[in-house]
Structures are given as C-alpha cells and as structure tokens.
C-alpha cells in the first residue's frame, strides 16, 4: 500500500505535468493572471461537461447517469483546481489547513455560532 499523502502526491504530479506542458508547448510567456483566467475557463468547461452528465436539461428525456463519466469530469476539474492552487503558491498542506478552517466556519454557521451575520438559521 502506498503510504504517501494522497493530496501531496496529487500536487506533485500536477506540478510535474504543468512544468512539462509549459515546456512542451512553449508557454513560458504566460503570466499568473492569464493562467488563472485560462484555468478558470477550462474548469467552467469541465463543469459544463459534468452538468451534461446529470440530466440538467429538463426539456430533454432523462438518460441513465454514467457514474464513470461523472467521476472522470470530477477528476478533470481537480486537475485545473490543483494547478491554480500551485500557481497561486498554495501547497497541499495550505489547502488542507484552509479547508479545515473553512469547514469549521461552515459548521459554526449552521449551528448559529458564526460571528458573520446572515447565517444563523435558528429561530430567535
């Protein structure tokens, strides 16, 4: 069994892929802002492909959902997301810690414990 941290491994593989892509396609000239724009657009495209897999078109007859295709689109989305994390200087550890912090805040919001207004769902 592989003992490596899975998220860290994903980040390493994505960084290796991004370096190869930049080198092989001669994309050294692209600045951070443009990279993020391009990857957001690519992610939107992948999100649209995911949406097409789950019968969002109410005007069409439903089809059986292909879970393999759904999962493939989710992996495609992850590729672009991790690439943006790396380009913005975020490590796997940074993402993990940020997720933990935000997850706690989300629970606090649902439990009426957040300091931010507009989230308390409990009747007053």
State both tokens at 48. 């649209």
Domain that holds residue 24: 6-110
Q: How confident is the model at residue 102 (pLDDT cuts 50, 70, 90)?
A: very high
pLDDT higher than threshold 80 for residue 124 = no
Q: Is residue 82 part of a domain?
A: yes
In a domain, 62, yes or no: yes
CATH number at residue 42: 1.10.287.1080
117, part of any domain: no
User: Over the stretch 31-61, which tens digit does the pLDDT of each residue have?
Assistant: 999 999 999 999 999 999 999 999 999 999 9
Domain annotation covers residue 16: yes
The answer as to whether 28 is a domain residue is yes
In a domain, 13, yes or no: yes
Please report whether residue 116 resides in a domain.
no
Whole-structure pTM value? 0.88
Give how many domains the chain has, as a whole number.
1
Mean pLDDT of the chain: 93
pLDDT exceeds 60 at position 98? yes
């Amino acid at each position: 069994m592989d003992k490596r941290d899975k998220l860290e491994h994903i980040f390493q593989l994505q960084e290796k892929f991004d370096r190869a892509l930049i080198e092989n396609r001669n994309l050294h000239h692209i600045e951070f802002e443009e990279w993020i724009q391009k990857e957001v657009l690519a992610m939107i495209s992948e999100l649209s492909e995911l949406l097409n897999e789950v019968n969002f078109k109410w005007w069409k007859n439903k089809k059986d959902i292909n879970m393999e295709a759904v999962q493939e689109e989710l992996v495609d989305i992850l590729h672009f997301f991790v690439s943006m994390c790396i380009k913005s200087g975020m490590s796997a550890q940074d993402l993990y810690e940020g997720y933990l912090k935000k997850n706690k805040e989300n629970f606090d919001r649902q439990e009426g414990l957040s300091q931010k207004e507009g989230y308390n769902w409990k009747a007053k």
